[in-house]
Amino acid sequence: MNDLPITKDEILKELDSIQAEDLKYSDGRILGSMCTEAHPFAKEVYMRFLDSNLGDPGLFKGTKSIEDETVKIIGRLLHLDNAYGNIVTGGTEANIMAMRAARNHARKYKGIKNGEIIIPKSAHFSFKKAADMMNLKIVEVDIDKNYKIDIASLREKITDNTVAIVAIAGTTELGLIDPIEEISEIACENNIYFHVDAAFGGFSIPFLRNAGYEFPEFDFTLKGVSSITVDPHKMGLAPIPAGGIIFRKKEYLEVMAVDSPYLTVKTQSTVVGTRGGASSAATYALLKYFGKKGYSELALNLMDNTHFLKESLEEIGYELVVEPELNIIAFNHPTKSADELSKELEEINGWKVSVAQCPKAIRIVLMNHVTKTHLKELMKDLKELF
Ligand code: 0PR
């Protein structure tokens, strides 16, 4: 550490030069990210609430009421009249909270000590972290030829120790939606906690539906669904960090509560103690600012780009792994491996795609910062590399 103070100008100059090493969303080269540049209005609101701490909500009653209302608004979007939950740091924390609620609930009401969670291979790795932290056994349910949870396999995997079933609405690699209606019925029949990870799809499926797209039910309309992860910092255009965990019942928060005696509120259910209120305020502001109409337009535009990319790829002869359901496309060259093509794309023009593992494929997430102009440039290069 320096002994003497350094001027702001000097520090900013240094920071600017370091930041210049980062990629910028606006360059359109980031093609494998579920995050995007936050909306300018959200950034403005975020700055205003920078000092608020929801870890001690009695001191920040106004900001706490914004978090509660944000949870209720997202809950209503997912067809739940009276939602409970929190705005957290992201999908990982949301999924950890869901698994903790499920484990504690099963321990308290069913006496299960060695809990198991049933998750598909397509589940995000955050569930592995959750299982590791909470000593839960992961039981992997098979996926079918369409890369979705296989219902027959799910029935076979349920045991007396199952504390949660997890399904995904917008898988990380392929953007697919599991057969959530059927799984909800199985969860009801067996009285098992059912968590839907809609970290990615939660901020687009409802709005695409609003605009006329047809999707099977995936939310609290289904009575088996106990909780849903939905991340404002993915499709919601909120600044990082902003995740959302929505619970059907208050008791799921209660089974996680620990005493926090010297604070203004006597118990805490979140993983994080001191936690920002800025993410809640920014998300709240965006929900109002866009409304259903604005978010629907946004989601429709991204689906339009998705279809444009799909058709352009197929025209050249690239092979899509599956028909896209949301704004993610996974494809392969007929002979070159995905790793090889990904390397070539980086070399030819700095394209940063990601490589899906199940199945191996080039994966492109069509987020807001990827414009049609960028896609046309990309297609020119993909044509050359074919
Ligand atoms: N659930 C699903 C379905 C996800 O896709 C993700 C993250 C999470 C949960 C975890 O969310 P957090 O990362 O907010 O905790 N999906 C992306 C992924 O791992 C996250 C990401 C975003 C990765 C931008 C890279 C990137 O550049 O692929």
Quick one: pLDDT at residue 321? 98
Q: Is the residue at 1 inside a domain?
A: no
Which of 257, 272, 288 terminates a domain? The answer is: 288
Q: Is the domain of 146 the same as that of 247? A: yes
Quick one: pLDDT at residue 283? 98
Quick one: pLDDT at residue 162? 98
pLDDT band at residue 51 under the 50/70/90 scheme: very high
Q: Cα–Cα distance between 192 and 353 in angstroms, integer? A: 38
Q: How far is the CA of 84 from the centre of ligand 1 (A)?
A: 23
Q: Cα–Cα distance between 123 and 276 in angstroms, integer? A: 27
Q: Is the domain of 144 the same as that of 217? A: yes
> For residues 226-259, b (16+ Cβ closer than 10 Å) or e, as one string?
bbbbbbbbbbbbbbebbbbbbbbbeebbbbbeee
pLDDT in tens, 341-371: 999 999 999 999 999 999 999 999 999 999 9
pLDDT band at residue 186 under the 50/70/90 scheme: very high
Q: Is the residue at 65 inside a domain?
A: yes
Q: Is the domain of 215 the same as that of 326? A: no
Q: Is the domain of 22 the same as that of 100? A: no
Q: Which amino acid residue places its CA nearest to atom 20 of ligand 1?
A: 34
Indicate the number of domains in the chain. 2
Q: How far is the CA of 34 from the centre of ligand 1 (A)?
A: 6
285-289 long-range Cβ contacts below 8 angstroms, 24+ apart: 285/41, 285/42, 285/45, 286/39, 286/41, 286/42, 286/232, 286/236, 286/237, 286/238, 287/70, 287/73, 287/74, 289/39, 289/41
Q: Is the domain of 330 the same as that of 208? A: no
Quick one: pLDDT at residue 48? 98
pLDDT band at residue 274 under the 50/70/90 scheme: very high
pLDDT band at residue 307 under the 50/70/90 scheme: very high
The amino acid that residue 228 corresponds to is I
Spell out the residues 6+ positions from residue 31 whose beta carbon is closer than 8 angstroms to its own: 351, 352, 353, 354, 364, 365, 370, 378
Q: Is the domain of 86 the same as that of 28? A: no
Mutate to test the pocket of ligand 1, among 124, 196, 234 (most ligand atoms within 8 A of CB): 124
pTM, two decimal places: 0.98
Q: Is the domain of 175 the same as that of 246? A: yes
Domain of residue 216 covers 41-288
Q: Is the domain of 163 the same as that of 193? A: yes
Mean pLDDT confidence for 112-119: 98
Ligand 1 pocket residue status of 178, Cβ below 6 Å:
no
Distances (CA, A) of 29 to 23, 36, 367: 8, 12, 11
Tokens 């998300």 belong to 283
Report the phi/psi class of residue 197: left, alpha or beta, with left for phi > 0 and alpha for psi in -120 to 50. beta
Q: How far is the CA of 3 from the centre of ligand 1 (A)?
A: 40
Q: Is the residue at 260 inside a domain?
A: yes
pLDDT band at residue 299 under the 50/70/90 scheme: very high
**Sign of the C-alpha dihedral, residues 266, 271, 276, 282?**
negative
Q: Is the residue at 267 inside a domain?
A: yes
Q: Is the residue at 3 inside a domain?
A: no
Q: Cα–Cα distance between 55 and 77 in angstroms, integer? A: 26
Q: Is the residue at 309 inside a domain?
A: yes
For residue 298, give both structure tokens. Answer: 């946004």
Q: Which amino acid residue places its CA nearest to atom 12 of ligand 1?
A: 91
Look up the CATH number of the domain holding residue 125: 3.40.640.10
The amino acid that residue 91 corresponds to is G
pLDDT band at residue 21 under the 50/70/90 scheme: very high
DSSP labels, 176-215: -B--HHHHHHHHHHHT-EEEEE-TTGGGTHHHHHHTT---
Q: Is the residue at 202 inside a domain?
A: yes
Q: Is the residue at 70 inside a domain?
A: yes
Mean pLDDT confidence for 315-338: 98
Q: Is the domain of 109 the same as that of 203? A: yes
Mean pLDDT for all residues in the chain: 98
Q: How far is the CA of 199 from the centre of ligand 1 (A)?
A: 8
Mean pLDDT confidence for 23-52: 98
pLDDT in tens, 138-154: 999 999 999 999 999 99
pLDDT in tens, 196-212: 999 999 999 999 999 99
Q: Is the domain of 282 the same as that of 323? A: no
Q: Which among 178, 162, 174, 169 is positioned nearest to 203, based on CA atoms?
A: 169
Quick one: pLDDT at residue 205? 98
Report the phi/psi class of residue 251: left, alpha or beta, with left for phi > 0 and alpha for psi in -120 to 50. alpha
> For residues 34-56, b (16+ Cβ closer than 10 Å) or e, as one string?
bbbebbeebeebbeebeebebbb
Q: Is the domain of 212 the same as that of 164? A: yes
Q: Cα–Cα distance between 262 and 283 in angstroms, integer? A: 29
Ligand 1 atom closest to residue 93's alpha carbon, by position in its atom list: 15
Q: Is the domain of 59 the same as that of 76? A: yes
Which of 251, 272, 288 terminates a domain? The answer is: 288
Ligand 1 pocket residue status of 117, Cβ below 6 Å:
no
Look up the CATH number of the domain holding residue 313: 3.90.1150.10
Residue 345 sits at φ, ψ, to 5 deg, of -65, -35
Which of 288, 323, 356 terminates a domain? The answer is: 288
The ipTM (two decimal places) reads: 0.98
Quick one: pLDDT at residue 56? 95
